[in-house]
Amino acid sequence: MKIVQAAMAGTLESSDLMVKVSPVESGLDVVIHSEVYKQFGDRITEVVNETLAAFNIEQGQIIIDDKGALDCVIRARIQAALLRGSAREDIAWEKL
């Protein structure tokens, strides 16, 4: 999947996160800001990387502003932002 337009998903409410994706010329730039990064930073990074790998994202800028979201919320928000940013109509929903 390729990110072709800027998109976002989520909120800045407690226990949620805001994900912003945008296209870049080359490379993958992932920035994670989290209020709980000291305690859960390794797990947050792992979930983000797993989700990006599941969508075969190799290029783009991903900015995450986490307010203590659970793993399932992190995945869902990243998936929503990626699908919006890819502007695809042929989504394989069974793979989500």
One pLDDT digit (tens) per residue for the chain, 96 residues = 899 999 999 999 999 999 999 999 889 999 999 999 999 999 999 999 999 999 999 999 999 999 999 999 999 999 999 999 997 777 766 666
Residue 93 maps to a domain: no
- On whether the CB atoms of residues 29 and 55 are closer than 8 A, the answer is no
Residue 72 maps to a domain: yes
DSSP 35-63: TTHHHHHHHHHHHHHHHHHHTT--SEEEE
Per the structure, the count of domains in the chain is 1
Domain that holds residue 58: 7-86
Residue 12 maps to a domain: yes
Residue 71 maps to a domain: yes
Q: Model pTM?
A: 0.90
Residue 68 maps to a domain: yes
Residue 92 maps to a domain: no
Instruction: Extract the tokens encoding 5.
Output: 């337009």
Residue 46 maps to a domain: yes
Residue 76 maps to a domain: yes
Q: Tell me the C-alpha distance between 47 and 49, whole Å.
A: 6
Residue 56: give its domain's CATH number. 3.30.230.10
